[in-house]
Chain A
Amino acid sequence: MQLLKKIKNSYKLRRKLMAYLFILPSLTIFILFILYPIVYSFIMSFYDWNILSTEASYIGLDNYNNMLNDSRFWNALKNTFYFSFGFVPIGIIISLILALFVNRKIKGKNIFRTIYFLPVIAPMSIIAIIWTFLLNPDIGMISYYFSLIGLENTAWLRDPDLAMPAVIMVSIWKEMGFNMVVFLAGLQSIDESYYEAARIDGATKLEQFFYVTLPLLKSTTAFVVIMTVIKSLQVFDQVYVMTGGGPLFSTETLVQYIYKLGFVNFNMGYGSTVAYALFILLLFVTIIQLRYFKGEE
């Protein structure tokens, strides 16, 4: 008996040791390449730190003070919100409409789904190159088609008022298939009996949508909204490729500005400060949204 217990205990201990061995590689990576940097970033934000110089000098809250007086920071924040307010609602509504339509029992719905999802799998930077060409007034087909219906042959990306709408449009075009798939999964989890009950009560298609589909799609919608907002506040690739933040800083978003501070100006301390501002913004926006959706339930 004694021996059996001993064997059993040593077996349990071995299992526990194995568990630590199994999570050790992942944990090491997370600690070294995510948790250490996020702490380090916080410390850097209190320093005047240029990667080219070896010395970093502690400057207290100076970076934060500078940021609050930095018109380029506020401009980047404004542009990020501009992008978000354009991209999130329009994109989500289009995705939902597409999901509703391709969820119907119609012929060819799988082909439509495959097509709409195609831009999602392509690299944003390459999509952005193609769209830059399409919107180019000299060779662009899109600009040409616009000119055919009487619109001016505009240099979209060179116009400070039109560059951001163009970036938003391309982003919606690229991402609409993603949320469509999420909505589709949500729609398919709704039990058919709800619709039968609604039909028996004489509800029209529109009424079914507002009183059955939307309420039952709430958790999916909450997820889509939160994820899309987070994604939109981190926008970078398409801005970098299509406009580089121009013209006249009209499309410079927060991540674009962080990139310039860190890797063009090598101003790592101040870059970290702005990065932390983005972090706090993301946390804040996420918590507010979670609260809102929780409160609704």
Chain B
Amino acid sequence: MKLTNSLIYIFLFIIAVVTLFPFIWMFFTSFKVEADILAYPPSLIPRTFSLRSYLEIWNSIPFFRLFVNTVIFSVGVTFISVILDSMAAYAFARIDFPFKNILFIIVLVTLMIPFQVILIPLFKLLYELNWLNTYLGLIVPRASSAFGIFLLRQFFVKIPYALEDAARIDGCSEFTIFRKIIMPLSKPALATIAIFHFMYNWNDFLWPMVITNSMSMRTLPVGLALFRGEHVIEYGMLTAGAVLALLPIILVYLYAQKYFVQGIALTGLKG
């Protein structure tokens, strides 16, 4: 028993090192000078610490702009989508209305359509709307998610009706009940969905790459990847950029780890 536990520890430890190594390498490399990066044999720890990469990155690409774009895109989608998802989920969970089932099936069908398949016509549609290369074009098609509606509906149906009935007798409108009773009671579910949308869009690559075509509208994942395509050997700057791009999402993760894990566990248990 003791032996098995030690073996398991060793295994877990090795995997942990393998998992962390690229992050650690990235972190240290971002502080190296160029000669240090190219030195052979390579060493993990910088011989001299330098902040040059961090200073240069702001001049070489509009890094601040990329950062702001990523925030606007991911926070924008998250904010709108959480509201629209929960509104739709509320109607599906707690109100009886004609064609409810058919409409819910439409929502489920959209869940089955892979985004890559509709990318070309979607691009054409945004082109005709003149929405390419705009925040509107980036955000609006993402502003509601069938996945969010589905998960929130599951949560909303379980909320007891007693509170709602009491509010109704007091003459509260449907919208007040939604905003003042259902939403506050659903904070954990809403946080889970919000984190999910935030992570998905902060990290997204193909969508912002296709919809934007100027560096000033790109997001961090796209901007850095395209920068690498053009400047293959700017290792220092790219690792510095990667550190800065990863920091916000890692901080959010460490702060709200519970909700990340919950979100994924939820998707797993629904099956």
> Which residues of A approach B to under 8 Å, CB–CB?
14-16, 18-20, 22-23, 25-27, 29-38, 40-41, 44, 51, 98, 101-102, 104, 106, 112-119, 121-134, 138-141, 144, 173, 177-178, 181-186, 189, 219-220, 222-224, 226-227, 230, 234, 236-237, 240-241, 244, 255, 258-259, 262-263, 268, 271-272, 275-276, 278-279, 282-283, 286
Contacts and interface: CB of A to CB of B under 8 A. Distances in A.
Contacts of B88: 22-23, 25-27
B67 interface: no
B125 interface: yes
Interface string B199-230: 10011111000100000000011101100110
B214 to A, nearest CB: 15
Nearest to A286: B112
B239 interface: yes
B121 A272 contact: yes
Given A119-B19, A123-B203, A259-B206, A236 B268 contact: no
Which of A14, A16, A113, A227: most chain B CB closer than 10 A?
Answer: A16
Which of A14, A130, A244: most chain B CB closer than 10 A?
Answer: A130
A38 B119 CA distance: 9
10 contacts: A22-B88, A23-B92, A31-B106, A32-B125, A117-B261, A130-B23, A234-B114, A240-B225, A275-B118, A282-B117
Which of B19, B121, B253: most chain A CB closer than 10 A?
Answer: B121
A133 B235 contact: yes
How large, as a class, is the contact surface on chain B?
35 or more
Nearest to B260: A121
Contacts of B144: 25-26, 29-30
Contacts of A141: 21, 25, 42, 44
Contact of A26 (B18, B85, B221): B85
Given A106-B8, A255-B116, A125 B221 contact: yes
A181 B117 contact: no
B271 A118 contact: no
B245 A115 contact: no
A237 B253 CA distance: 22
A33 B125 contact: yes
Contacts of A139: 37-38, 42, 235
A132 to B, nearest CB: 8
